[in-house]
């Protein structure tokens, strides 16, 4: 019973850590640049797309603390509406909390794996080999829900994590033009694919360890 509890705890904590790790890959200048011009609403952008996108990403990643930037580096006006600015502040606060939670989850999960590897090799390999089970159900549930009704998933996420309605924006707002629903749908799918690939690695690692145990 205790072994199962430890194994499930490690797997849940690792799931949280990996989800946030992959999400952070998608909040980078590189990803934003690769996404530029790939969605219909991007064609309606009249400001410097890359400059504004990088300003937003830098804000999330603590490289700047100013959301009153203009349409380009020389523009001294404020491009976004007040409601957009408030929402970005909320997003950064949430992002910070999730990063801390994911970091702590990763430390505990990795510590648990190290502990198992030293006291019980068999349990360690079994934990790795079955690491995919919880993420697989998570992926099937979220992925299936997204395919059926992504707008509902998107709405539920915001209702769960934000206590106000500042995330309800107009179609011509900067945040909607830069980050339309198709952007979030694609990004979510990429995160789920990365998650499944990481679980395949854990599974292969666990199988190899079990094979080595049988040999010796």
pLDDT per position as a tens digit, 152-195: 999 999 999 998 999 999 999 999 999 999 999 999 999 999 99
Q: What is the CA radius of gyration of the chain?
A: 21
pLDDT at 198: 93
Structure tokens at 67: 């959301």
| pLDDT surpassing 80 at residue 2 | no
pLDDT at 41: 95
| pLDDT surpassing 90 at residue 215 | no
Instruction: Give the H or E element holding residue 181.
Output: helix 181-215
162 vs 3: CA distance, rounded Å: 37
Structure tokens at 62: 């603590």
Q: What percent of the chain has pLDDT over 70?
A: 98
User: What's the domain range around 209?
Assistant: 2-215
Structure tokens at 17: 């850590």
Residue found by looking up tokens 């490289």 in the block: 63
Give pairs for 48-54: CB < 8 Å, separation 24+.
Answer: 48/72, 48/73, 49/178, 52/79, 52/174, 52/178, 53/29, 53/178, 54/29
Please give the C-alpha separations between residue 125 and each of 10, 94, 116, 168, in angstroms, as whole numbers: 13, 35, 9, 46
Q: Which of 136, 108, 91, 106 is nearest to 20 (CA)?
A: 106
| pLDDT surpassing 70 at residue 98 | yes
Extract the runs of DSSP E, i.e. beta strands, from the chain: none
Please give the C-alpha separations between residue 94 and each of 7, 66, 111, 184, in angstroms, as whole numbers: 28, 17, 26, 17
Mean pLDDT of 50-54: 97
Confidence of residue 211 (pLDDT cuts 50, 70, 90): confident
Instruction: Give residue-wise pLDDT tens across range 100-157.
Output: 999 999 999 999 999 888 888 888 888 998 988 899 999 999 999 999 999 999 999 9
pLDDT at 122: 86
pTM over 0.85? The answer is yes
Structural domains counted in the chain: 1
Confidence of residue 216 (pLDDT cuts 50, 70, 90): very low
pLDDT at 185: 95
């Amino acid at each position: 019973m205790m072994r199962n509890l430890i194994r499930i705890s490690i797997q849940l904590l690792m799931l949280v850590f990996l989800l946030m790790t992959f999400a952070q890959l998608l909040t980078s200048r590189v990803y934003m640049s690769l996404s530029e011009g790939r969605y219909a609403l991007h064609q309606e952008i009249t400001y410097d797309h890359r400059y504004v996108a990088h300003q937003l990403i830098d804000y999330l990643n603590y490289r700047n603390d100013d959301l009153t930037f203009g349409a380009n580096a020389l523009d001294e006006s404020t491009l976004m509406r007040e409601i957009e600015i408030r929402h970005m502040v909320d997003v950064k606060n949430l992002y910070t909390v999730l990063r801390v939670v994911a970091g702590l989850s990763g430390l505990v999960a990795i510590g648990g794996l190290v502990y198992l590897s030293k006291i019980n090799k068999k349990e360690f390999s079994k934990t790795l080999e079955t690491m995919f089970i919880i993420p697989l159900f998570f992926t099937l549930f979220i992925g299936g829900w997204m395919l059926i009704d992504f707008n509902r998933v998107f709405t539920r996420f915001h209702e769960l994590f934000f206590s106000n309605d500042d995330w309800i924006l107009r179609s011509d707002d900067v945040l909607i033009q830069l980050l339309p629903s198709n952007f979030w749908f694609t990004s979510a799918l990429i995160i789920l694919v990365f998650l499944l690939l990481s679980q395949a690695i854990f599974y292969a690692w666990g199988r190899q360890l079990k094979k080595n145990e049988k040999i010796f």
